[in-house]
Amino acid sequence: MLLQASNIKKSYGNKFNRTEVLKGIDLSLGKGEFVSIMGASGSGKTTLLNVLSSIDKVTSGHIYIDGFDFTTLKDKKLADFRKTDLGFIFQEYNLLDTLTIKENIMLPLSIRSMSKKEAEDQFNTISQQLGISELADKYPSQISGGQAQRTSAARAFIHQPKIIFADEPTGALDSKSASDLLKKLQQLNENLNTSVLMVTHDATAASFSNRVVFLKDGLVYTSLTRGDMSQDDYYSEILDTQRVLGGVLDESK
């Protein structure tokens, strides 16, 4: 397993007023797997993604990536690990407004010792794959939401990380831009064999992944594997499971 999380607990608050959001989660992600995390609003999806991606610290439990437990790393080492091994896509794109699209995408390469030519090659390859080559010299304010999210996907993949973490990557997109992005994510996942862990409240988005893990009351409630199912059948199963799960489904937020 590329990522193995065991008995993850996370609480917020102080000793007088504590909320336990994650109550003992076990989760694994194989090399090249594309997994979705679903669950009602407030069920802890973002919290789980943040601890699995080292953005936030667990209260207890261990997370291994390539057999290496990063929960015990000190901040500086953790930051280095995050920059080299992980890629991130957020709902709100998180592009830097004062940098061009190309500069934004190339940011993760600045920590690598890499020739200019190599960096240019990497940029050309990934921007072509995401269909945004012609936007290189534009600024974030000059492109659409769909283009912005494909830019942030390019930035997530350019340094060839082991895992991409995506929190509601289609949450701010219209349905056409959303499915364009998901198809690109699916292609990159297959072609580059980069593992993807995506939080989503949207059954359509989840139907692009190989497996869906459902959270409820701080625990893994159940999971669904696509296997040989058609995407449509898989989508229906995801909807059915969501219904059984109940709770308030996330509105687009």
Ligand X SMILES: Nc1ncnc2c1ncn2[C@@H]1O[C@H](COP(=O)(O)OP(=O)(O)O)[C@@H](O)[C@H]1O
Residue 47's binding partner among Mg ion, ligand X, none (Cβ under 5 to 8 angstroms by kind) is ligand X
**Shortest Cβ 199–ligand X spacing (Å):** 7
**Shortest Cβ 154–Mg ion spacing (Å):** 23
Q: Which CB sits closer to ligand X, 39 or 108?
A: 39
Residues at the site binding ligand X, with contacts judged by CB under 6 A: 12, 21, 39, 41-47
**Binding flag, residue 6, Mg ion (CB under 5 A):** no
**Shortest Cβ 59–ligand X spacing (Å):** 12
Is 162 exposed, middle or buried, given 0-12, 13-18 or 19+ CB atoms closer than 10 A?
Answer: middle
**Binding flag, residue 46, Mg ion (CB under 5 A):** yes
Can you tell me whether residue 53 is helix, strand or coil?
coil
Residue 21's binding partner among ligand X, Mg ion, none (Cβ under 5 to 8 angstroms by kind) is ligand X
**Binding flag, residue 249, Mg ion (CB under 5 A):** no
Contact 196, 244 (CB under 8 A): no
CA distances from 55 to 18, 49, 79, 147 (A): 21, 8, 9, 25
Contact 104, 96 (CB under 8 A): yes
Q: Which CB sits closer to Mg ion, 131 or 247?
A: 247
Residue 161's binding partner among Mg ion, ligand X, none (Cβ under 5 to 8 angstroms by kind) is none
Residue 203's binding partner among ligand X, Mg ion, none (Cβ under 5 to 8 angstroms by kind) is none
* Distance, CA of 57 to CA of 77 (rounded, Å): 14
Q: Which CB sits closer to Mg ion, 4 or 46?
A: 46
Report the b/e string of 205-241 with b at 16+ CB within 10 A: bbbbbbbbbbbbebebbeebebeeeeeeebbebbeeb
Can you tell me whether residue 228 is helix, strand or coil?
coil
Which residues sit at the interface with Mg ion, rule CB under 5 A? 45-46
